[in-house]
Structure 1
């Protein structure tokens, strides 16, 4: 057993309001320069839809992630030999039109316009060519234009569903999907890079790009099935989400999580067994990857795990944070959070709590177990998005979310406790109360549990200065 630490994030889709507040500070801090205009390390997509870049989920087009072939795990886009032969031509790379051609406006024409009869106007102008362009796509295109009717048919999550049914107005549904780099345990982007520029940090699992080693081959872009590695057209280097590691190292959470007005994000440390990664990614079926992924995660409160982690060099402050981690509770203890497209076999470490939705087409009262299957968002759609089509984990998560709402409602409104409701979802009263405080109230100290320096190092830490801002008196 080889124990390692990994930063992880959970996003509660049941509370996301699609305000894009998470995207703005990320954009302003990390991609506010030439060549990075079209990069959105964090973006919020409208589902159903084909997303950003276009059809990123369709690996028949983009060839991202891994596949199991004759019992062996292989990159879907091909191995070293394939990349060596085609190193100057990558047919699986998304084009700029799949993102959008970055543009600006000639604002001076408005400011310096002489007096005239009609209001002056300007056309969008490409940042790449300097020529006027017609806008056809963008990171929020489906959001702004309610694009289901136009692009819904291209959403791969409608697999085994009759898309025509959900294109009808009375059956339409919608929810938000914030996305960032998954910082996977088995990152395809790292394995795809011919120059070895991408790497996964040993101490916290954050995936980064070494700008000095990057040669701009862009196989990391096509290899990532989530399309969260970008190519800077100005510098000729790859760039991606860095999980705000300068803030993380100072004990602060990421900018996207800190700025979230809906309090939907949870950041914490997980312990995992690196020796179990290989068997997990080679699970015999796509639906078996998620349970195998859960088995990799270790219980930090287990005394044997704690002793083994200490013996292998895991710091005491990391262990203390792992014990209080909201991500471990949401992912493994309560089974509320699920991975995004586990069939890509990258073992992502950004997880999602599926959204509840209003009950549709209910004429007469039904049992609670039947109500979950009558939600407006199809169970099969969420399963295709989060569990490779397995509806059982999604149904379990939604039932528990619903149980928290109903139980707290009976306590607050009806002044009684319905224990039968708890038994039906396998939870006790203390757990329900803890889930309620974390999900509904979401205090900052509960949502973000990050390691700080051990107490015994505080004296030296103060002498060296805090976070590089100067000496501390």
Structure 2
């Protein structure tokens, strides 16, 4: 057993209001320079929809991530021989139109316009060419268009569902999906890079780009199935989310998590067995990947795990943070958070609590009605959420939603001054202390409960192993 620590994030989709406040500080701090105009290390998408870049989830088009073939686990876009033969032409690379051509406006024309009978108007112009631009897409385009009616047919999460049914007003649904780099345990971007510029840090699992070694081959861009590696057209190098490592090294959370007005984000430490990565990523079926990944994650309360971790050099403050980790509770202990598209076999480390949605209530419905039946009658189809979060396996999604609903019904019975309804908790395997802890963390948690990160040891600047220079400074 080789124990490592991994920084991870959980996002509660039940509370996301789609305000994009998480995206703004990230954009202002990390992508505020020439060549990065179209980059959104963190963006918020409207679901259903095809996202940003367009149809990023459809690996029949983009061929990102890993596949399990006759020779075992392989990159979906091909190995070294394929990349060598196509090194000057990557057919799987997204074009700028699939993101969007960034634009601005000539505001001086408004300010300097002479007096006239009608209000002056200005056209958008490309930040790449300076020419007038006919706007076709943007990072939150589907949010503005209410998503489904325009692009629902291209959403791969409607697999095994009739899209036309959900185009009807009485059946339509919508929720928001914030996305950032998954900092995967088995990152396809790292494996795809011919120059070895991408790497995963030993101490915290953050995936970074060595700007000195990057040669702009862009195979990392096409190799990432989540399309969270970008190409800076000005510097000729790749860039991506760096999990705000200058902050996390000081024990502070990421900018996107700190700024979230809905308090939907939780950041903490997970312990995992690195020797099981290959086995989990090569699970025999897509639906088996999530259970295999769960088996990799270790219990920080287990005395044997703690002894082994200390023997292998994990610091005491890292182990203490792992024991208090909110992400471990949500992912492992309560099984409320699920990974995004585990079928990509990258073993992602950004997880999501699925959203509850209104239930079609019958006249004879009571609060004690069976939660499984209520989950089936939710406006957001279970099949859609399962395609998004568990490779189509509905069982984990049902469990998470049933437990969320049970806690909500239990707290409602308390707030209405009635006798505490514990039956709803018994049906989903929760006791009263656990329900209270779930409610506290998901509804009322303080900042130091939602974000639990250790600090780097003082006076040891070399503790984090890097391959050359990281970050985005003037040296590029």
Which band: TM-score by shorter chain?
over 0.9
Q: Distance in 2 between matches of 1:326 and 1:313?
A: 23
Q: Is residue 23–residue 44 contact of structure 2 (8 Å, CA) maintained in 1?
A: yes
Structure 1 gap segments, 5+ residues each: 462-473
How far apart are residue 361 of structure 1 and its match?
A: 6.5
What residue number does 1:172 align with? 172
SS in 1 for 2:280: helix
In the superposition, relative to structure 1, how do residues 230 and 176 fare at CA in structure 2: closer, same or farther (>3 Å)? Answer: same
Q: Distance in 2 between matches of 1:199 and 1:356?
A: 37
State how 1:415-430 maps to structure 2 within 5 Å. 415-430=418-433
CA RMSD after TM alignment: 1.2
In the superposition, relative to structure 1, how do residues 60 and 434 fare at CA in structure 2: closer, same or farther (>3 Å)? Answer: same
What residue number does 2:39 align with? 39
Deviations 1:261-314 (A, max 9, x none): 111000000100000111101100000000000011000110100000000000
Deviations 1:390-445 (A, max 9, x none): 00000000000001111111122134222322211111111111111000112111
Q: Is residue 71–residue 282 contact of structure 1 (8 Å, CA) maintained in 2?
A: no
SS in 2 for 1:425: coil
State how 1:330-349 maps to structure 2 within 5 Å. 330-349=330-349
How far apart are residue 253 of structure 1 and its match?
A: 0.2
What residue number does 1:414 align with? 417
Q: Distance in 2 between matches of 1:368 and 1:223?
A: 40
What residue number does 2:378 align with? 375
What residue number does 1:449 align with? 452
Q: Is residue 65–residue 225 contact of structure 2 (8 Å, CA) maintained in 1?
A: yes
Within the candidate set 388, 391, 401, 2:391 is matched to 388
Q: Distance in 2 between matches of 1:16 and 1:415?
A: 30
TM-score scaled to structure 1, two decimals?
0.95
How far apart are residue 360 of structure 1 and its match?
A: 2.7
SS in 2 for 1:15: coil
How far apart are residue 89 of structure 1 and its match?
A: 0.2
More divergent stretch after superposition (98-107 vs 74-83): 98-107
Q: Distance in 2 between matches of 1:103 and 1:351?
A: 32
In the superposition, relative to structure 1, how do residues 160 and 361 fare at CA in structure 2: closer, same or farther (>3 Å)? Answer: farther
Q: Distance in 2 between matches of 1:142 and 1:361?
A: 30
How far apart are residue 369 of structure 1 and its match?
A: 2.2
SS in 1 for 2:427: helix
Aligned length: 457
Structure 2 gap segments, 5+ residues each: 461-476
How far apart are residue 71 of structure 1 and its match?
A: 5.2
Q: 2:100 aligned with 1:97, yes or no?
A: no
What residue number does 2:110 align with? 110
Within the candidate set 399, 404, 409, 2:407 is matched to 404
TM-score scaled to structure 2, two decimals?
0.94
What residue number does 1:217 align with? 217
What residue number does 1:251 align with? 251
